[in-house]
Amino acid sequence: MKLWLISQEANDGYDTYDSAVVVAPDEETAKRVHPSGYVFSESDGPSGTWATPENVVAKCVGVAADDLESGQVICASFNAG
């Protein structure tokens, strides 16, 4: 597993997430992780607090510890309003 910095600029107002560090095996899986801790499915639409996976940028920032699981959120940045 790897650590991914995910970010988005599609929803940039109050009460939205702008980025997070998540655990995932690959870039596409990382883009599907919502910073509140769930993974988008094919049928999910926009959440209002985050972007859909096609609007998320993922950058690998390291290797995750062996005891971490895919989809876990290490930390997230939320812009409260």
pLDDT in tens, 41-69: 766 666 788 998 999 999 999 999 999 99
Average pLDDT over residues 8-33: 94
Residue 28 or residue 39, greater confidence = 28
Half-sphere exposure of 71 (CA within 13 A, CB side): 5
Half-sphere exposure of 28 (CA within 13 A, CB side): 2
The pLDDT of residue 43? 63
Q: What is the average pLDDT value for the chain, to the nearest integer?
A: 92
Closest by CA position to 38, among listed 70, 77, 62: 70
Average pLDDT over residues 13-24: 95
The pLDDT of residue 81? 77
**Secondary element (H or E) of residue 28:** helix 27-31
